[in-house]
Structure 1
Amino acid sequence: MSGVRTPGLLFVAETGQDDGCSPETVIRGMGGSAGVAVAIDFGANNPGMREANAQRLVACWNALDGLSDDHLAGGWNVRGMSSYAKGLEEKLAAARVLLSEAVKPHDDHLAALKAAGEQPVINPLSVRINNFLNGGAT
């Protein structure tokens, strides 16, 4: 895969007819730029199929946002994506452990100052890290 493509997420924008009066559905990039006009149609017996196919294409595109073209060209399948996601979860868990260790001395210091009746100075970064650790990955 190579070449320039519409960046980011897509959405199904409108359904209409092209210059030859053939039905088409336009898929646009989130910035409003046209990504592609699809004319996937299977006859009068399936009038909603073109729209459904466009919605499916958009869902697949958006689900794969962030993956390199090389990964996609390499034939990634559900097993490969699941393995990749598991690796990301493991990295997130390791990052949580490191962040917990990083804020522990600060938290211990704050507790000691409070116990001594002193007004502690709170590190804003430690507050953000604690919020992240307590709130989950967002």
Structure 2
Amino acid sequence: MSGAHTPGLLFVAETGQDDGCSPETVIRGMDGRAGVAVAIDFGANNPGMREANAQRLVACWNALDGLSDDHLAGGWSARGMSLYAKGLEEKLAAARALLVEVVAPHDEHVKACQTAGEAPNINPLAGRINEFLKGGAS
């Protein structure tokens, strides 16, 4: 892939006729200032199919927003990205499990001291880890 492409998300704009009076569906970007592509029929003149093709092209473009052309040219696919994301989720879950193990002795010390009415020796890093574990990262 080479050259610059229209940045950002796309949308299906209007349906009309091209200069040859053939029906077309225009895909636009850049807040409607740029016509990106024209989705034509595949087979019979079917406005529903033309619109569906345009919507699918827009959905694919928008789903890949932010992915570099080099990644696309290098073979990234929805399946590949999904597998990569799943791998990241598994690594994050493993890291969270390790953090729970790391702070467990500290948390037990704090509970034991509180039960005995003593002041616990608080590790600030353990407190930050516990705050992270309570958060939404999973």
Return the TM-score normalized by structure 2: 0.61
How far does the alpha carbon of each residue in 1:60-87 deviate from its partner, in whole angstroms, 9 at most, with x for none? 2233344332221023346544542343
Which segments of 5 or more consecutive residues in structure 1 lack a partner in the other structure? none
Distance 1:23 1:78 in 2: 28
Which segments of 5 or more consecutive residues in structure 2 lack a partner in the other structure? none
In the other structure, the counterpart of 2:56 is 56
Distance 2:108 2:78 in 1: 44
Distance 2:56 2:134 in 1: 39
In the other structure, the counterpart of 1:67 is 67
Question: Matches of residues 1-138 of structure 1 in structure 2 within 5 Å?
Answer: 1-8=1-8, 10-17=9-16, 20=19, 23-28=24-29, 32=31, 34=33, 36-42=35-41, 45-77=45-77, 80-117=80-117, 123=127, 126-132=130-136, 137=138
- 1:127 to partner: Cα distance: 2.4
Return the TM-score normalized by structure 1: 0.61
Q: Alignment identity in percent?
A: 56
Letter in 2 for 1:14: A
- What is the CA RMSD across the aligned residues, in angstroms? 3.8
- Count matched residues: 131
- Which has the larger Rg? 2
How far does the alpha carbon of each residue in 1:18-75 deviate from its partner, in whole angstroms, 9 at most, with x for none? 884763323335xx36564332122873112232112111222233344332221023
Q: Aligned pair in 2 of structure 1 residues 124, 78: CA closer, same or farther (>3 Å)?
A: closer
